[in-house]
Structure 1
Amino acid sequence: MLTDDFGRRFYYLRLSITDVCNFRCEYCLPDGYQCDTDRQFLSLPEIKRTVNAFSLMGTEKVRITGGEPSLRKDLPEIIECVSQTPKIKTVALTTNGFKLTSQYQQWLDAGLTALNISMDSLIPEQFNLITGSNKLGEILKGIDLCLADGRAKVKVNAVLLKQYHKKQLDYFFDWVKETPVSVRFIELMETGDNKAYFEKQHVSGTTIQNQLFERGWVPVIRDKSAGPAIEYCHPEYQGSIGLIMPYSKDFCSSCNRLRISSLGKLHLCLFAEHGLSLREYLQQDDPQELVQAVSTLIHDKKATHFLHDRLTGATSHLSMLGG
């Protein structure tokens, strides 16, 4: 089991397979994707070796991220590769939903068990302003199809933005009253490219937390391989609400996840100063050298991110690592 110097155990791997994205979200890629890497993304054999090695170190959950992972034509093969790895119990995917209606069945057939859709508003005009896309209706249709299928847990991620959140909160509350999805509100995080935007738009998740308590919502016990969200449920609602508050006290104390970039670098934290290249260990099927390398590097993980000090490390935008 991978354990760092602070006693944290790591059951959860976030695996980016591309940094390319076709949306222009205000808080991430407002000018669209800029091709500033060599784009030699991890191959399917390299992904298989990565996941196999991490499974030997106690990983039980793998989340496939981007950029937008559905832009890779071999995404179904990647999902299948991960799902067939022994000891991996949860295969999750985070997507902007652009290809959801046309591809969700392929993903589920390949073994996907959890699906997260990034959807920052239920108001079409707001959604378009935030993402640069007018696909909200299509994405909602895809979510309904996935719910009807029933093979994967469905969650929705919405970034909290001061300009929009008050108007849209009631829309989300009304939606989860009748829809069995988990909506997780994520505090906007500062990155290297969005400092001015962060100052203008950041709002604390405690504003929603207080509303939840006032409305009778109660916290749900977290699974050991769960993500960072604090989940809340209510007996009168089909769905649930989650909060991801990276600026809250002791947020990092329960960290259980590591990240591999689409270029094969280990990131001990989303906001680490740099990634640690593992690619040389991914050229052979024997996992022992990779296991040894990660087991050594884990001791460099810090006790906390340094977002409170406005230090964002090497993360210039979230598309680099998929959040």
Structure 2
Amino acid sequence: MSQLQDNFGRRFHYLRMSVTDVCNFKCSYCLPDGYRPDGKPSFLTLSEIANLAAAFAKVGTQKIRITGGEPSLRKDFTDIIRVVADMPNINTVATTTNGYRLAQNAQEWYDAGLRRINVSVDSLDPRMFYQITGENKFDQVMRGIDAALDAGFERVKVNAVLLKHLNDKDLPRFLHWIKQYPIDLRFIELMETGLGHDYFNKHHLAGATIKAHLLENGWGLDQAAIDDGPAQNFSHDDYQGRIGLIMPYEKNFCASCNRLRVSAKGKLHLCLFTEHGVDLRDLLQSESQQAELVSRLHQQLEQKKATHFLHDGVTGVTQHLASIGG
């Protein structure tokens, strides 16, 4: 079957697949009031996930990231990893987690087939970590990162959302940390969502300021791999770790887009912003529906826009990023 490609020549090798929108943290930039269920949850079942992954594998997907919410809240999370990892043509299985269950499960997840892991750590100051996340679990999360390295993960990525007046003074502490540890540190520029206009105006910090600092201090820009996300990655000979910058407001950010998203309730999202998503769940009930599912994917790619329109102040219908996996 032909690879997924849009009208702008972009090919999509990377699927971000949400398995729940439930989260037990209350991060100020995402779920400041905590998770609020919208009726009784009806998230994708294990068999639906298998059928979804199989269809994407047939059309060129090489990497699947299992996301949330907090994906490890699912009791069958290890089974989900195993099902995706056993899928032909899927070369990389990844997840993004807040890390609160990582210390006790890192080895189990690795043995099931997980190979890349992103842990959200918005500050290395325990007090600031608590202020941003609403949870006093800094030490627990840091133990989880150590456990992931011990389990065999070649590299662990740490995500930190850049927040002016909050964690913007943490760069020296982060740099000191990754000098001795093989951590891929990623700074993510704050994006405005439907509920976050005032918060965005108060705390948005352009990633370009960090980029300029890195280039002035001997960091070099790495060449991107085919299944990499949108981060610009930087390395330095004196550091074991690396730094990635995700800057959605930078010119041409969307030109290299290679990812699609499916929500925990089975909706395809061509972009984080601007659209409601297209239901796929009716075609996830049996393997016999694979051809029709693939056809729907190709049809929807014809609707994908050239850009996210964030520069024009269009934040779309997404109220918070946890609802479709970030």
TM-score using structure 1 length: 0.98
Query: For residue 240 of structure 1, what is the amino acid of its counterpart?
Result: R
Partner of 1:238: 240
Q: Report which stretch shifted further, 98-107 or 23-32.
A: 98-107
In the other structure, the counterpart of 1:182 is 184
User: Structure 2 CA distance, aligned partners of 1:146 and 1:35?
Assistant: 30
Check the 8 A contact 1:278/1:290 in 2, yes or no: yes
Identity %: 55
Deviations 1:229-267 (A, max 9, x none): 000000000100000000000000000000000000000
Partner of 2:303: 300
| 1:312 counterpart (315, 322, 325) | 315
Q: Indicate which of 81, 84, 88 corresponds to 2:83.
A: 81
Deviations 1:189-245 (A, max 9, x none): 000111110010001001100110111000111101101100000000010000000
Cα 1:96–1:202, aligned 2, differ >3 Å: closer, same or farther?
Answer: same
Deviates more, 1:280-289 or 1:55-64: 280-289
In structure 2, the partner of 1:205 is: 207
Aligned pairs (5 A) from 1:147-162: 147-162=149-164
Q: Aligned ranges for residues 158-307 of structure 1 at < 5 Å?
A: 158-286=160-288, 287-307=290-310
CA spacing shift, 1:152–1:262, aligned 2, 3 Å: farther
Greater mean alpha carbon deviation, residues 142-151 or residues 72-81: 142-151
Q: TM-score, normalised by structure 2?
A: 0.98
User: How far does residue 163 in structure 1 lie from its aligned partner after superposition?
Assistant: 1.0
Tell me, in whole angstroms, the C-alpha distance in 2 between the residues paired with 1:4 and 1:234: 35
Whether the 8 Å CA contact 2:110–2:151 is kept in 1: the answer is: no
Asked whether the equivalents of residues 219 and 235 of structure 2 are also in contact (C-alpha less than 8 Å), the reply is yes
Deviates more, 1:157-166 or 1:54-63: 157-166
Q: Is 1:108–1:152's contact at 8 Å kept on the other side of the alignment?
A: no
RMSD: 0.9
Deviations 1:264-323 (A, max 9, x none): 000000113211001110011121110011011110000000111121112100111121
1:123-134 superposed matches below 5 A = 123-134=125-136
The answer to whether the 8 Å contact 1:176/1:240 transfers is yes
> What are structure 2's unaligned runs of at least 5 residues?
none
Matches within 5 A, 1:26-41: 26-41=28-43
The alpha carbon displacement at 1:37 in A equals: 4.6
Partners of 1:145 and 1:284 lie apart in 2 by 38
Letter in 2 for 1:95: T
Instruction: Tell me how far apart the structure 2 counterparts of residues 6 and 316 of structure 1 sit (CA, whole Å).
Output: 28
The residue type equivalent to 1:91 in the other structure is V
Secondary structure of 1:185's aligned partner: strand
**Residue 140 of structure 1 aligns with which residue?**
142
Instruction: Give the residue type in structure 2 aligned to 1:316.
Output: Q
| Segments of 4+ moved more than 4 angstroms | none
Q: How many equivalent residue pairs?
A: 323
Query: Cα distance 1:85–1:321, how it changes in 2: closer, same or farther (>3 A)?
Result: same
| 1:94 counterpart (84, 93, 96) | 96
Structure 2: how far apart are the matches of 1:8 and 1:120?
A: 31
Q: Which amino acid aligns with 2:257?
A: C
- Give the secondary structure class of the aligned counterpart of 2:128: helix
